[in-house]
Structure 1
Amino acid sequence: MTEPLLALTWTDHVTGRQGHVVVDRLVRGVSSGGLRMREGCTLDEVRGLARGMTMKEALHYNPDGKYIPLGGAKGGIDCDPRDPRAYGVLVRFLRAVRPYIEAMWTTGEDLGLTQDTVDRAAAEAGLVSCVQAVYRLLDDEVTARRRLTDAFAVEVDGIGLDELAGGCGVAESVLVALDRAGAARTGTRVSVQGLGTMGGATARFLARAGLRIVAVADVKGTIANPAGLDVEALLAARDAYGSVDRAALGPGDRELPGDAWLSADADVLVPAAVSYAVDTANQAAITARWIVEAANMPVLPEAEELLARRGVTVLPDVVVNSGTNAWWWWTLFGDIGADADEAFAHIRRSMRELTGLTLARAEADGTTPRAAAHAIAADRLPVIADRFGRYA
């Protein structure tokens, strides 16, 4: 694995908290990757996430599309987002790394942060936008920025389109896996870790596709119901951090320990919260046939090897959760407009093609879907570099 182009660590002079930025690769001088905030975030974690972003960008390369794939990058702040001091830390971090955001790193929400919070802090830090580095690649900046602003204003059943885009992609990846295996959608049982932006949207799309959500986990524990949870009621009872008000639970819902989502009697597990959720010890409790990585890096490599030996298929994050990032750029560059139906159709079509290609490559190569996705990205990266250049 090659070293990233840039890796830096910042220390907050007020709290002592640290933040990290890693630019793994540039395309036409620009990279893309969100900013997360969580207690314990490390430079190594951000480095791995940035490498993943490089692959996500490459995997969505369409030579006929308007969207120009960018390089991969990521940011991370070691701080609990619930800490009263967290917002101040965020503003000071953005102020400190402002030159990189202005010149080469486009960023946005990730674990622990909402886009509204990032945008508000970015303005306070003196930034025009958290994606301003990409503006010079646009044919018509004013129109493109208006299109993205309009898209962020779209709501579907009370939830913003920006919050639904990624979950639509995750759900489509699940449906592709079921379809290829000849498994019926109706009644397929799903357990989801995390009911925030990604997990909540994924649960909604899967429930509406006929799958049965039998367990969801948040910071308070796991909520389970083998007959199926009322996903819409749970979503309506969430707070800003994806924690569900237990007063909204139905009569058949049970409260279980936080790790019970792993061992739930389910066909599909969707880790949609923290990294490193599945390790060599707790993987033994998993009985599901598929693990679909809505979160970034939730399954440790050693655990994935053990799962593969047991016949459990892991659909990798670089494919599964790439829809959010791609939706931003499809909208900004003009491949799609500020319309929910158009966005969902484009996401479904693209994710179905990419997930199907990944699973077919894995089958043909006799390897895992993750190895197949990495191989596809490795094939495309030189093509992108030759066409667009790294620093121009």
Structure 2
Amino acid sequence: MSNLSYISQNNGPWSTYLEQIDRVAPYLEHLEDYIDTLKRPKRALIVDVPIVMDDGTIQHFEGYRVQHNLSRGPGKGGIRYHPDVDLNEVMALSAWMTIKTAVLNLPFGGAKGGVRVDPRKLSPRELERLTRRYTSEISHIIGPQKDIPAPDVGTNANVMGWIMDTYSSGQGHTVTGVVTGKPVHLGGSLGRVKATGRGVFITGQQVADKIKLPLEGAKIAVQGFGNVGSEAAYLFVESGSKIVTIQDHTGTIYNPEGINLEELKVYFEKNQGVGGFAGAQAISDEDFWSVEMDILIPAALEGQITVERAEKITAKLVLEGANGPTYPDADDMLIKRGVTIVPDVICNAGGVTVSYFEWVQDMASYFWSEDEINQRLDKLMIQAINDVWHTASEKACSLRTAAFILGCERILKARMERGIFPG
């Protein structure tokens, strides 16, 4: 028995992932023989991250790096700084990355990392010390051909720059390809910051057209107003939609006539949240789910859409900008009510797709324009969502199941063809 088996018995993101794998198993035919490959991570590292605080005291933080599956290439996945980070969450996020890279047919496996910390409570120097120590603790399992981290919740381009510098110091030369999502002048890619939100919009646009949902005048609800939620919101507004409600960690705002995003942007940058914005009324966090809407974009954390909330949601289309925002039983409820769900493993894959472009550019030391990036991103996302839609129609299943069928087939074929060592 795996020493990580106990986690599968607990509620949480890993249990959600395991249930999703069980649901796709009947569609995999002979490849089902290899499905246990997907039910356990290849490698899970837990590290102690001690740092000297600005006041001279020493504090310890717990860090993680999980490589779920490397059958199709090096690991790929973000690093999250959040007070709720734990092994259960990081395992699930790494597994969803495995599926996501396979659905997009990128030459990567799935990985994820994190540190249990509230980065807002650290000074810039403390944050840098934390990052560099964490990097040193995981440096033996990361690298441009091993596992390539990227930003996630609580981390950004600056953090990726520190990781690259720390890793490079240990190698004796600059290794730009060890991370993606880093500053452009350090080998980052144009278009990376907006890529995930753009992917949410592109897949949403494609599916809205297929289900005959006009974007002109569509009412949209957005949970989370970071890089993903805000960029998706801007692009939908450009297409004639209106954002009627937004929720983040500071509160929930509502304006049935549409929230002015330009005014909100100014307010958000000053106040670091949407709560208290004068251009909309405050409503309770729970009322967010029952607002009249056509499209819902959960772009915050996992585990947000429960059965109780699924019963209230008025949207015709859900676009999962976050990873794992919908519990399986809530998924069933939404489908029963005729709601179309574009699952996270395709919907928010724009970020990892442009991360792939960044990695390729770093390997070649040749960089593309932002227009080239967006054209390549749009082409891959449209192809992937069309493949998922076709599979869903052919198998008479949900888009989530279809995406998992495509992803799992590609991963398990790679596992089968590589064989098991030793034989």
3-state SS, counterpart of residue 238 of structure 1? helix
Name which of structure 1's ranges 272-281 and 184-193 shifts more when overlaid on structure 2.
Answer: 272-281
Q: How far apart are the structure 1 equivalents of 2:176 and 2:81?
A: 16
The alpha-carbon deviation at position 174 of structure 1 amounts to 0.9
The alpha-carbon deviation at position 3 of structure 1 amounts to 1.4
For the pair shown, the structure with the greater C-alpha radius of gyration is 2
Match of 1:158 in 2: none
Query: Which of 333, 342, 350 is the matching residue for 1:323?
Result: 350
Q: How far apart are the structure 2 equivalents of 1:115 and 1:38?
A: 16
- Preserved CA contact (<8 Å) 1:220 1:258: no
Q: TM-score, normalised by structure 2?
A: 0.78
In the alignment, structure 2 segments of 5+ residues that lack a partner are 1-37, 51-57
- Preserved CA contact (<8 Å) 2:158 2:183: no
Match of 1:70 in 2: 108
- Matching residue's letter, 1:229: I
The alpha-carbon deviation at position 33 of structure 1 amounts to 0.6
**What whole-Å deviation, never above 9, does each CA across 1:71-125 have from its counterpart, x for those lacking one?**
1111122212212266143332222111112362200100111122232355256
The alpha-carbon deviation at position 270 of structure 1 amounts to 0.5
- Preserved CA contact (<8 Å) 1:204 1:232: no
Correspondence 1:229 to 2:259: yes
Please show how residues 7-26 of structure 1 align to structure 2 within 5 Å.
7-13=44-50, 14-26=58-70
**What whole-Å deviation, never above 9, does each CA across 1:185-218 have from its counterpart, x for those lacking one?**
1011111011101111111111112211111112
Structure 1 residues 38, 390: CA separation in 2 closer, same or farther (over 3 Å shift)? farther
Equivalent pairs, count: 365
**What whole-Å deviation, never above 9, does each CA across 1:317-375 have from its counterpart, x for those lacking one?**
11001111111212432599532222222222221221122123223212111111010
In the alignment, structure 1 segments of 5+ residues that lack a partner are 62-67, 135-144, 155-160
Q: How far apart are the structure 2 equivalents of 1:308 and 1:111?
A: 29
The alpha-carbon deviation at position 148 of structure 1 amounts to 8.4
**What whole-Å deviation, never above 9, does each CA across 1:280-315 have from its counterpart, x for those lacking one?**
333222111121110111111222122222222221
- Matching residue's letter, 2:117: C
Please show how residues 80-159 of structure 1 align to structure 2 within 5 Å.
80-84=118-122, 87=127, 88-102=129-143, 104-124=146-166, 126=169, 128-129=174-175, 131-132=177-178, 149=186, 152=189, 154=190
Match of 1:196 in 2: 226
Please show how residues 263-278 of structure 1 align to structure 2 within 5 Å.
263-278=290-305
- Preserved CA contact (<8 Å) 1:29 1:390: no
Q: How far apart are the structure 1 equivalents of 2:217 and 2:420?
A: 47
| Aligned residues: CA RMSD | 3.0
- Preserved CA contact (<8 Å) 1:237 1:245: no
Query: Which of 89, 101, 104 is the matching residue for 1:60?
Result: 104
More helix by share: 2
Q: How far apart are the structure 1 equivalents of 2:330 and 2:112?
A: 24
Structure 1 residues 240, 30: CA separation in 2 closer, same or farther (over 3 Å shift)? farther
Q: How far apart are the structure 1 equivalents of 2:330 and 2:373?
A: 35
**What whole-Å deviation, never above 9, does each CA across 1:152-194 have from its counterpart, x for those lacking one?**
4x4xxxxxx2211111110011111110011211011111011
- Matching residue's letter, 2:178: Q
- Matching residue's letter, 2:114: G
Structure 1 residues 299, 146: CA separation in 2 closer, same or farther (over 3 Å shift)? closer
Match of 1:46 in 2: 90
Q: TM-score, normalised by structure 1?
A: 0.84
Q: How far apart are the structure 1 equivalents of 2:377 and 2:74?
A: 23
The alpha-carbon deviation at position 269 of structure 1 amounts to 0.7
Provide the identity percentage: 25
Please show how residues 341-352 of structure 1 align to structure 2 within 5 Å.
341-352=371-382
Q: How far apart are the structure 2 equivalents of 1:241 and 1:376?
A: 42
